């Protein structure tokens, strides 16, 4: 097997070959045992890496559904879960809370209560991700309780050690946004959106929300358009936000 052979296999697995060349690869995989074995092996590696990469995006989806369908039995902490609008029990209290917020926000933000309506954040779960750092649990508790001012220094310390934890970095951005440190928040969301990582779509979603917060609907629409339709959860939220702008 030469470098050129592996290059052809790579191109084949990425779907970059013409139909004729594809057939050539498949025929060679049958006629040459070494080539066939190399193709199977590279396919196995590619599948494994793709699964690992997608797992990062799948876990948050499953965590939210898990909280919904496997509720803790003993009066556990109620977190602001994603599909809150499907829960009739929360409408009464939510309406009252939103009314108070709407009155306050109508003075603070020119876009009215649209920001408050859509700024429903998924719970943070750093501790479930296997870290033993002391700040992790405290940061998670503060964030999930909506105590963003307390969450900020904890998340900053946590990220000093765990700089690659994108979920925590996104949470820090949200905490800044909720604490009216919008410039810092936008810097973080911009980095996440540009990273092409598992949370890139969330970077754009929060850039859109930050724009809504400062009353810039045109910018919000641009960021919403960057959310890929394959992310059905965020696409649904983006469509609802678009309709309200």
**CA 122, CA 25: separation in Å to the nearest integer?**
46
CB contact set of 84 (below 8 Å; sequence gap of 6+): 90, 94, 120
Helix (H, G, I), strand (E, B) or coil at 177: helix
CB of 49 to other proteins, least distance (A): 4
- Give 164 or 183: the residue with its C-beta nearer to other proteins: 164
CB of 72 to other proteins, least distance (A): 5
CB contact set of 169 (below 8 Å; sequence gap of 6+): 159, 188, 191, 192
| DSSP string for residues in 222-240 | HHHHTS-TT-HHHHHHHHH
- Give 162 or 179: the residue with its C-beta nearer to other proteins: 162
CB of 34 to other proteins, least distance (A): 13
Query: Tokens 């939210």 label which residue?
Result: 64
CB of 219 to other proteins, least distance (A): 26
Binding residues for other proteins (CB under 8 A) = 3, 6-7, 10, 41-55, 57-59, 61-63, 65-73, 83, 196-197, 230-233
- Give 88 or 92: the residue with its C-beta nearer to other proteins: 88
- Give 166 or 178: the residue with its C-beta nearer to other proteins: 166
């Amino acid at each position: 097997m030469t470098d050129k052979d592996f290059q052809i296999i790579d191109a084949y697995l990425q779907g970059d070959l013409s139909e004729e060349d594809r057939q050539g690869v498949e025929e060679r995989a049958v006629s040459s045992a070494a080539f066939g074995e190399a193709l199977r092996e590279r396919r196995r590696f590619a599948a494994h890496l793709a699964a690992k990469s997608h797992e990062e995006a799948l876990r948050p989806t499953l965590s939210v559904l898990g909280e919904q369908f496997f509720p803790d039995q003993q009066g556990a902490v109620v977190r602001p879960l994603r599909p809150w609008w499907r829960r009739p029990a929360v409408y009464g209290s939510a309406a009252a809370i939103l009314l108070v917020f709407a009155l306050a926000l109508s003075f603070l933000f020119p876009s009215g209560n649209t920001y408050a309506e859509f700024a429903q954040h998924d719970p943070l779960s750093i501790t479930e991700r296997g870290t033993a750092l002391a700040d992790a649990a405290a940061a998670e508790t503060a964030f999930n309780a909506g105590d963003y001012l307390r969450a900020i220094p904890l998340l900053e310390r946590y990220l000093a050690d765990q700089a690659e934890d994108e979920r925590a970095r996104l949470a820090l951005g949200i905490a800044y946004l909720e604490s009216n440190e919008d410039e810092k928040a936008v810097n973080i969301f911009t980095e996440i959106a540009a990273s092409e990582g598992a949370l890139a779509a969330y970077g754009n979603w929060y850039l859109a929300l930050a724009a809504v917060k400062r009353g810039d609907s045109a910018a919000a629409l641009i960021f919403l358009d960057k959310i890929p339709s394959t992310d059905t959860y965020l696409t649904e939220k983006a469509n609802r936000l678009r309709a309200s702008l």
